[in-house]
Amino acid sequence: MRKIVVALFVVLLTASFSMNVSAAETQADKKAIVIAAFGTSHPPAVVSILNLKNKMEQAFPKTTVKVAFTSNIIQDIWQKRGRDLKWQKAHPEIPVMLYTVKNPLATIADLQNQGIRSIAVQSTHVFAGEEYTNLAAEINALASIKTLRDRDLPFKTLFLGRPALGKASDLHPYPEDIAHAARVLAADVALAKKNKSALVYMGHGNEIFTTGAYMELESVLRDAHPDVSIFIGTVEGFPGPDQVLAGLKHAGVKKVTLIPFMIVAGDHATNDMAGDEPDSWKNLMEAAGIKVKPVIRGLGEVDAWVDIYVQHLKEAMADSGF
């Protein structure tokens, strides 16, 4: 009888150990995706953020997907709204997760604290400018952490997917990304053609980094659509609204379809681009005798554009053995 009891105890102990090891292995094998976006405080523009998240979840149904905002100001706004029940009641369309959104570092830390050691971060930046460079520095710093024993490493793998217009790389040449983006934007060119107008994009740009990627994209679009006048300008950096307006005048343009070249159609789109202030792009053009048809729509609302990020993430996963 004693032998039977001992044997049964050994079987139960072995089974319990196997279950614990299996659970630990399962936890260690968990993966997560962090969508890194600048963010938006403009409620109607949230549709772009949600589309990004939904498309990622559809592409990776077995992987946890989190949204992170790189802007601390935007985070503070949403956290304040999270304490304002009256505001929340007036905006039932806003998902709860936005009220607790964090920056990429904090989001990654939370996932790692949950035992998830394989994390993929996807940039939603348009080009490899200042914000992307800062994000890449943070991700690379975390990924470079070394410990005395590999088992103590905080991450099994941690990497960043490239922006829409690519970055300097031999593995994924950025001109191919620009050509892909130009094909996606063909629908906007068709709209401008239907409107019998020029097409003008307002990008964010940057005062520190060159916006050469924008100008190269503009060139590719013009080559592909020689029958439509196409211009890409920026809120910050070159070319600004003055250069765009000078180009329109030089080309003799009388009508423009004006579209934000940004992930979300937030404050820049509604105010800087199409606002009522005298210095908005719309009013500057109209003051020059050009008719303007604004389109308030973020790139994040365009499924084919979001698919660019999905594809870039898939390629980064393959490169990293994710």
Distance, in Å, from the CA atom of 238 to the CA atom of 215, rounded to the nearest integer, reads: 9
Structure confidence at residue 7 (pLDDT): 44
Q: 3-class SS at 218?
A: helix
Identical fold between 30-165+303-320 and 178-299: yes
Question: Is pLDDT of 8 > 80?
Answer: no
Helix H or strand E encompassing 76: helix 72-82
Identify the pLDDT of residue 27: 54
Place of tokens 């905080």: 154
Q: What is the phi/psi pair of residue 11, to 5°?
A: -60, -45
Q: Are 235 and 202 spatial neighbours (Cβ–Cβ below 8 Å)?
A: yes
Q: What is the pTM (predicted TM-score) of this model?
A: 0.90
Please check whether residue 122 is in contact with residue 55, taking contact to mean a CB–CB distance below 8 angstroms.
no
In this structure, which topology does domain 30-165+303-320 adopt according to CATH? Answer: Rossmann fold (3.40.50)
- Given a cut of 70, whether residue 16 has pLDDT beyond it is no
* Per-domain boundaries in the chain: 30-165+303-320, 178-299
User: What is the rounded distance in angstroms from the CA atom of residue 33 to the CA atom of residue 64?
Assistant: 6
Q: What is the pLDDT of residues 111-159, one digit of tens each?
A: 999 999 999 999 999 999 999 999 999 999 999 999 999 999 999 999 9
Average pLDDT of span 89-104: 96
Cis peptide before 92 (omega within 30 of 0): no
- Residue 273 is given by DSSP the state I
What's the pLDDT score for residue 28? 54
> Residue 22: pLDDT above 80?
no
- What string of DSSP letters covers 76-118? HHHHHHHT-HHHHHH-TTS-GGGGG-B-HHHHHHHHHHTT--E
Is 19's pLDDT higher than 50? no
CA distance 53 to 306: 10
State the average pLDDT over residues 249-271.
96
Which fold does the domain 178-299 belong to in CATH?
Answer: Rossmann fold (3.40.50)
Alpha-carbon 16 to chain mean position:
44
Span 34-77, pLDDT tens digits: 999 999 999 999 999 999 999 999 999 999 999 999 999 999 99
Is pLDDT at 108 greater than 90 in this prediction?
A: yes
- What is the C-alpha to C-alpha distance for residues 310 and 52, in angstroms, rounded to an integer? 9
Calculate the average pLDDT of the chain.
91
